[in-house]
Structure 1
């Protein structure tokens, strides 16, 4: 029986890779998104007094508005559960070819985001301001997990039995600081102190994962592969509004080349092979 199941899975994978392919647009919607990251004050100094453990932010970003060389230490972390993965090229409304009600879940992590520039605007009477934060080395990993056990409190999206579907790296863009210095960044966020909210957009390039060849299409802005937009707000602990524990939503858009229904079969096949491997090792 195991041999027959294995053969069936291999046939599914072969059918996926040999099928007629065409480009289609997709959108990814998150169902849960929790992030931690560095907090800076109006001078660009790391504000460790206003952060919940673990403390993020390894270097000050001062003077404000000027580029600071990245120190190689990550300044943010996020984990999330994807709600749906939709094909947006069809006439049908919300043509979903994977959603959270499937027998397996799709999760993601965001790491890196080494901050390099903090640019607050005018400071109001209550000390409130809006700031722009620029970062580099932002990484996004997307997993398929055959065991629906996502728990953001556990600190990760990979339950140890997951399949890495896509690995993406922030797409490099150029900016100019207050001194006229040109610098590289891949993530730009806008932070509003009055509401303790972050929002932004980041372009990603596909760098690995089992679906890499099918999502590495260079069809987004500046030749990137995916654009992720997000909104995060502090609604976890209203008594500590400056503790950087933010939740919200995000969506990714892009182009891919496999047929959506075959994509699902391929995903099921991969997870089936992962299950066979676990049983063989147990």
Structure 2
């Protein structure tokens, strides 16, 4: 490699490396794609009860449903707290729904549940303080920051395609408690370009896990009876400008090569 080409290559690598290491800011949410933890987030949530009615049939008792829905607040991102990843004072909240029970396998006092379908929308909000007692405080951010749909994969336990597989240690009569998890695909939102990577299991973009149990004092004003946590992980990429910088460096390399050959 001649000196001109070597210099151009070094410049391109230097520019691209510095760009990739730069924090990303999308709608006020700031994170570093180069972080050791990238991309991981932790959250608190509240959600609806999924018990069958007294006769064992879903939807026959008051306020009992067979489709999971709820909302929550992101409390940690890449190992940092809210004041760090939302330095302007914003909140990153989310709403989810459409996860429908497709299979129930009794297991002692608990059960194994398989869900199909589902979606999650994340919002950035700087105007209203989040409250777990009021769903509207989680969805008042307007256009979603990130929209995801469930990524269904074959479940050997249930013998069908599922979006969530959940194991409940306690199930029925308002005592749902357990763990679950699944995959998600990015489909829209301001941060879509940073997360549409297809790098997780089965080509999904994100992996999530959740835990849940009854709220001791009963249902919230929104009629939700369970509380818990949700963790999301995936891979993020730099802002498009980083890629553009790398492209300019490579163009310079090509130009140097052509001039040397004349």
TM-score (normalised: structure 1): 0.62
Greater Rg, structure 1 or structure 2?
2
- Find 2:50's aligned residue among 34, 38, 54: 38
Over the residues paired in the alignment, what is the CA RMSD in angstroms? 3.0
The answer to whether the 8 A contact 1:191-1:198 is kept is: yes
How many corresponding residue pairs?
A: 201
C-alpha separation in 2, matches of 1:102 and 1:201: 32
C-alpha separation in 2, matches of 1:248 and 1:186: 19
CA drift of 1:48 comes to 4.2
Runs of 4+ in 1 over 3 A off after TM superposition: 19-24, 41-44, 94-102
Q: Which runs of 5+ in 2 are unaligned?
A: 1-17, 22-32, 243-262
- Find 1:251's aligned residue among 213, 219, 231: 231
The answer to whether the 8 A contact 1:83-1:100 is kept is: no
Deviates more, 1:107-116 or 1:38-47: 38-47
CA shift digits 1:198-237 (9 cap, x unpaired): 2111110101111111101111111111111111111333
The answer to whether the 8 A contact 2:50-2:176 is kept is: no
Q: Does 1:105 align with 2:82?
A: no
Matches within 5 A, 1:107-146: 107-122=93-108, 129-146=109-126
Find the residue that maps to 1:213 and give its secondary structure.
helix
Q: Does 1:76 align with 2:85?
A: no
Find the residue that maps to 1:217 and give its secondary structure.
coil
CA drift of 1:20 comes to 3.2
Q: Does 1:149 align with 2:129?
A: yes
TM-score (normalised: structure 2): 0.67
Find the residue that maps to 2:199 and give its secondary structure.
coil
Name the structure 2 match of 1:190.
167
C-alpha separation in 2, matches of 1:258 and 1:33: 29
Matches within 5 A, 1:14-33: 20-21=19-20, 24=34, 25-30=38-43, 32-33=44-45
C-alpha separation in 2, matches of 1:118 and 1:146: 41
The answer to whether the 8 A contact 2:101-2:114 is kept is: yes
